[in-house]
Amino acid sequence: MNLSKVTPMIKQYLSIKEKYADSILFYRMGDFYEMFFEDAKTASRILEITLTSRNKKDEHPIPMCGVPFRAAQNYIARLIDNGCKVAICEQVEDPAASKGLVKRDVVRVITPGMILDDELLDEKSNNYILAIACDNAIGLSCLDISTGSFRVYESKDFLSVIDEALRISPSEILLPESIKNAPLFFQINNALSEKSITFLDDKVFEYRKARERLIKQFKTVSLEGFGCEKLKAGVSAAGALIFYVLDTQKQQLDHITGIETYKLSNYLIVDDISSRNLELIKNIRTGSKPGTLINIIDRTITSMGGRLLKTWIRYPLIDIDKIKLRHDAVEEAKDNIQVRKRLRESLKSVYDLERLCSKICMGHSNARDLIALKQSIQSLPDICSALSLLQSELFKLTLNPDRLYGPANLIDSSIREDAPLTVNEGGIIKKGYNKELDGLINLSQEGKGWLARLETREKDATGINSLKVRYNKVFGYYIEIPKTHSEIVPANYVRKQTLVNAERYITDELKAYEKKVLGAEERRSALEYEIFNGIREQVITNNKTIQHAAQFLARLDCLLNLAEIAEQNDYNRPQINTDGRIIIEDGRHPVVEKMIAGERFVPNSINIDNDDNQIIIITGPNMAGKSTILRQVALIVLMAQMGSFVPAKKASINVTDRIFTRVGALDNLSSGQSTFMVEMEETANILNNANEQSLVIMDEIGRGTSTFDGLSIAWAVAEYLHDLNQKGVKTLFATHYHELTDLAQKKHRIKNYNIAVKEWNDEIIFLRKLVEGGTNRSYGIQVARLAGIPEYVIKRAKKILYNIESRENKLNGASIPPDRQHASIMGDHDKQQVQLNLFKQPETFVIEKLQQLDISKTTPIEALNYLNELKEKLKKNEHRTSNGKR
């Protein structure tokens, strides 16, 4: 573009745009934000608004589009949603006072992680921006500027950092420029691909500067008090975040007063895949809330409580004492129905104090925010008095509400309840709060009477009854007289405007008056704005107390919520133990029990420990309820450790350090990736990280590959989990490979269970009851009939099955290579039937057992029992064969 040719305005535009190349520049012109050049093309496409051009006749017209200033929010939200950043460029001097082009500058950059407006934020979710920095270790820091929540974490384990980033699920990520070519970046990018990544100069991440920035922000001398002095990479990441926020927001961040250093080893870790499989926050298929745990257990009243509850789900505790404190509180609140109801009622008038506080600190608040703050504080006395009726440690007041009453009274005496959304048009401050303001208000109110009097006087003087004194923005005050009376207008009237039927006049008197009144109106708005800011400043000095109150109320809301849902959903208090046992009596799946219509949810009991019942293999036909019981155990453990009561008659839960889940490829159709590969990666992760304090859920692993591979992998994985570190890992293993039940004979901590079904008239009835022992039937055809497969196909399938099974019997003992068995037209399920002798046959088993037996050391009774066991084993085989021949 030839710069000598462009107008001064475009020149100004370009020089500003240059500094904000990666953002869409909203250039303020009067009542509009205008966009030019490429920005205009992008924005008009995303916002579906008309693309025009600025100088149509020119050889190279400049593309342009615009949105009204007052409706900008909406448009900004849509651009942000589409991964854009928006730089807001305002007129920074009064257009009336300026000579020539009005000065303009960017006052704020809005990015996905830098949103403060309530309308653009989900009230029950945090909006985190995340930074990652590398040193000897990898540091990760996240900040929600809308709440002031600021945390830092460091680890040498790269995968754990990625996983933590996913847990935080930020809306924006900051990375140092130089990472772009590192393998690390590709992994980050892979894992967090949809997120918006912003690269910053490496200097921004430089440790020393980053540390200084933090110290300055927190007004401390070191970071010792926050426990992150030694975390070089963590501090670098946190410092980069502060840089970015200051740079984009261009203002102080008084509400960010500290940073929390945390360790994942203090929490029960549920990796990202597992939390997706368990559908804690998001439905695995739809990505939305229905069908999730949060949807069932979130009855919080405040947004702060809602956000905290999500944090509790993501970070369940492992400190027994802390878990018990929560249970104590939930129990007390559950039992004290009256107090609970009263407290929950009071919480309804508590607004989002965290976000209010941030808005007030950052100067984005209006009078309504102050009113909301006041009303929230005003509900404290009632909350405090209700709390005094409760004993639990977590209900003890840790805040001094007296310190908040001052600000509340200040707001009460000064801010009008009906204040407008804008802060510079007056109407904010109550009468009686400020003398000067009252004087100005009187003046403009007296003015109305004066005008009426003037009108009457002029009517009388001129004898024109239709004479009106009126006001408009363009002409100010004027006298309007119908044209029919033009002749008799007095000489001191000066004509200003001619309409079709009337003429408009001014007089000196009217102009003098106008000056006084309009001046007063303007002075009034300015003064109100000034007073409002003063009040805001005073309120800010209490920001730490407000934040503290916010945290306390959020926790209170969560605990009351857990009590409420415990009552509504019939949950009971779990015991927490360290003896390695997970004992659940009559447990239910918290979500499925609410989803099944018509059918009653059948509770199930289960014991898992590190001695005899460590690996529970659960078999049963499709649709029997295997996946449900697996997830239900994991959810009950997680709920117990987050402080919730659990859907079970009784439960005693060993403090679990990690929950891993692996769900077979077909149960999890959501991704288009090579499912088998993903499955194996996830399995590897479990095998490398689980220990005897962990809980592993294996749901149909091996499904993603051929039956033989799958069965072999499932078998080997189960063995490995049993033998891991000679201690093994508590595992629930659902499988349709009923051959796996043979494992229980080889490995003593493995036990077989199945979900009972009843056969009735060639149909099956699901009993949903977990019972001891394995199964050897899949009932695939019956399930297919239930699903509505046409009778013809069912009959045909039965016939094929019959053929296969008779062939299997012929094959028994014969050495047909597995690949030949594969070469058939049968489906996977049918093939399984052919593979019964893949693993050790009962005969071999019996022979081996006899060889092992030392008769000289065996009592007659033992020998008899032994014989009995061998006979049982053979009987089982007979049973299989006869089943096959049916």
Residues forming contacts to Mg ion in the complex (CB under 5 A) are: 627
Tokens of 105: 């500058």
Among 28, 124, 536, 626, binds ligand ADP (CB under 6 A): 626
Tokens of 581: 């046992």
Look at residue 837 and give the partner it binds from ligand ADP, Mg ion, none, a contact being a CB closer than 5 to 8 Å depending on partner kind: none
> What's the order of all strands across the beta sheet hosting 658-663?
269-270, 658-663, 695-699, 730-734, 615-619, 750-760, 763-772
Could you tell me if 804 and 830 are in contact, meaning their C-beta atoms sit under 8 angstroms apart?
A: yes
Instruction: Determine the 3-state secondary structure of 742 from DSSP.
Output: helix
Stretch that binds ligand ADP, among 534-542, 575-583, 619-627, 798-806 (CB under 6 A): 619-627
Q: How far is the CB of 862 from ligand ADP (least distance, A)?
A: 39
Among 9, 166, 246, 623, binds ligand ADP (CB under 6 A): 623
Tokens of 358: 């941030």
Look at residue 619 and give the partner it binds from Mg ion, ligand ADP, none, a contact being a CB closer than 5 to 8 Å depending on partner kind: none
Residue closer to ligand ADP (CB basis): 217 or 604 = 604
Burial of 868 (0-12, 13-18, 19+ CB in 10 A): exposed
Residue closer to Mg ion (CB basis): 81 or 599 = 599
Q: Which residue has the tokens 């109305």?
A: 448
What does residue 165 show for φ and ψ, rounded to 5 degrees? -60, -40
Assess 359 for contact with ligand ADP (CB under 6 A): no
Stretch that binds ligand ADP, among 184-192, 206-214, 345-353, 625-633 (CB under 6 A): 625-633
Assess 628 for contact with ligand ADP (CB under 6 A): yes
Look at residue 720 and give the partner it binds from Mg ion, ligand ADP, none, a contact being a CB closer than 5 to 8 Å depending on partner kind: none
Q: How far is the CB of 596 from ligand ADP (least distance, A)?
A: 5
Tokens of 7: 């107008």
Query: CA–CA separation, 831 vs 823, rounded Å?
Result: 10
Query: What end-to-end distance do the CA atoms of the chain give, in Å?
Result: 86
Q: Which amino acid is located at 23 in the chain?
A: S
Stretch that binds ligand ADP, among 85-93, 300-308, 335-343, 618-626 (CB under 6 A): 618-626
Query: CA–CA separation, 517 vs 426, rounded Å?
Result: 14
Query: CA–CA separation, 694 vs 675, rounded Å?
Result: 25
Q: How far is the CB of 700 from Mg ion (least distance, A)?
A: 6
Binding pattern to ligand ADP, positions 566-595, x when CB under 6 A? Answer: --------------------------x---
Residue closer to ligand ADP (CB basis): 573 or 626 = 626
Q: How far is the CB of 766 from Mg ion (least distance, A)?
A: 13
Q: How far is the CB of 676 from ligand ADP (least distance, A)?
A: 19
Assess 784 for contact with ligand ADP (CB under 6 A): no
Assess 866 for contact with ligand ADP (CB under 6 A): no
Q: Which amino acid is located at 705 in the chain?
A: T
Assess 665 for contact with ligand ADP (CB under 6 A): no
Could you tell me if 747 and 712 are in contact, meaning their C-beta atoms sit under 8 angstroms apart?
A: no
Residue 762 burial (CB count, 10 A):
10
Q: How far is the CB of 631 from ligand ADP (least distance, A)?
A: 8
Could you tell me if 145 and 251 are in contact, meaning their C-beta atoms sit under 8 angstroms apart?
A: no
Could you tell me if 639 and 778 are in contact, meaning their C-beta atoms sit under 8 angstroms apart?
A: no
Look at residue 199 and give the partner it binds from ligand ADP, Mg ion, none, a contact being a CB closer than 5 to 8 Å depending on partner kind: none
Helix, strand, coil fractions of the chain, as percent rounded to 5 = 50, 15, 35
Residue closer to ligand ADP (CB basis): 184 or 623 = 623
Query: CA–CA separation, 797 vs 92, rounded Å?
Result: 79
Could you tell me if 348 and 357 are in contact, meaning their C-beta atoms sit under 8 angstroms apart?
A: no
Instruction: Determine the 3-state secondary structure of 489 from DSSP.
Output: coil
Residue closer to Mg ion (CB basis): 414 or 627 = 627
Residue closer to Mg ion (CB basis): 26 or 733 = 733
Assess 601 for contact with ligand ADP (CB under 6 A): yes
Q: How far is the CB of 699 from ligand ADP (least distance, A)?
A: 7
Residue closer to ligand ADP (CB basis): 152 or 711 = 711
Assess 625 for contact with ligand ADP (CB under 6 A): yes
- Position closest to Mg ion via CB: 627
Burial of 230 (0-12, 13-18, 19+ CB in 10 A): exposed
Query: Is the dihedral angle over the CA atoms 645, 646, 652, 655 positive or is it negative?
Result: negative
Among 93, 425, 509, 599, binds ligand ADP (CB under 6 A): 599
Instruction: Determine the 3-state secondary structure of 223 from DSSP.
Output: coil
Residue closer to ligand ADP (CB basis): 51 or 596 = 596
Query: CA–CA separation, 161 vs 134, rounded Å?
Result: 11
Q: How far is the CB of 589 from ligand ADP (least distance, A)?
A: 7
Q: How far is the CB of 626 from Mg ion (least distance, A)?
A: 5
Residue closer to ligand ADP (CB basis): 312 or 779 = 779
Among 452, 596, 793, 874, binds ligand ADP (CB under 6 A): 596
Q: How far is the CB of 667 from Mg ion (least distance, A)?
A: 5
What does residue 483 show for φ and ψ, rounded to 5 degrees? -60, -30
Give Cβ neighbours of residue 656 (< 8 Å, ≥ 6 apart).
Answer: 268, 318, 582, 637, 641, 693, 694, 695
Comparing C-alpha atoms, which of 171, 243, 251, 173 is closest to residue 205?
A: 243
- Position closest to ligand ADP via CB: 625
Among 23, 249, 610, 627, binds ligand ADP (CB under 6 A): 627
Look at residue 784 and give the partner it binds from Mg ion, ligand ADP, none, a contact being a CB closer than 5 to 8 Å depending on partner kind: none
Assess 756 for contact with ligand ADP (CB under 6 A): no
Query: CA–CA separation, 226 vs 228, rounded Å?
Result: 6
- How far CA 475 is from CA of 70, 486, 511, 514, in Å, comes to 24, 20, 10, 11
Residue ranges of E strands in 135-171: 138-144, 149-155
Stretch that binds ligand ADP, among 379-387, 499-507, 624-632, 713-721 (CB under 6 A): 624-632
Helices (H), ranges, 142-292: 158-168, 183-191, 207-218, 232-249, 272-277
Residue closer to Mg ion (CB basis): 172 or 593 = 593
Residue closer to ligand ADP (CB basis): 601 or 866 = 601
| Radius of gyration for the chain, computed over Cα atoms and rounded to the nearest angstrom | 37
Residue 43 burial (CB count, 10 A):
27
Q: How far is the CB of 711 from ligand ADP (least distance, A)?
A: 18
Residue closer to ligand ADP (CB basis): 113 or 625 = 625
Among 349, 622, 705, 776, binds ligand ADP (CB under 6 A): 622
Residue closer to Mg ion (CB basis): 35 or 606 = 606
Look at residue 104 and give the partner it binds from Mg ion, ligand ADP, none, a contact being a CB closer than 5 to 8 Å depending on partner kind: none
Stretch that binds ligand ADP, among 51-59, 217-225, 519-527, 620-628 (CB under 6 A): 620-628
* Angle made by CA atoms 126, 324, 554, in degrees to the nearest 5: 30
Q: How far is the CB of 699 from Mg ion (least distance, A)?
A: 6
Tell me the site size for ligand ADP, rule CB under 6 A: 14
Assess 624 for contact with ligand ADP (CB under 6 A): yes
Could you tell me if 822 and 851 are in contact, meaning their C-beta atoms sit under 8 angstroms apart?
A: no
Burial of 550 (0-12, 13-18, 19+ CB in 10 A): buried
Stretch that binds ligand ADP, among 99-107, 260-268, 565-573, 597-605 (CB under 6 A): 597-605
Look at residue 592 and give the partner it binds from Mg ion, ligand ADP, none, a contact being a CB closer than 5 to 8 Å depending on partner kind: ligand ADP
Look at residue 625 and give the partner it binds from Mg ion, ligand ADP, none, a contact being a CB closer than 5 to 8 Å depending on partner kind: ligand ADP
Among 768, 777, 831, 880, binds ligand ADP (CB under 6 A): 768
**Using CB under 6 A as the criterion, which residues of the chain lie in contact with ligand ADP when the complex forms?**
592, 596, 599, 601-602, 620, 622-628, 768
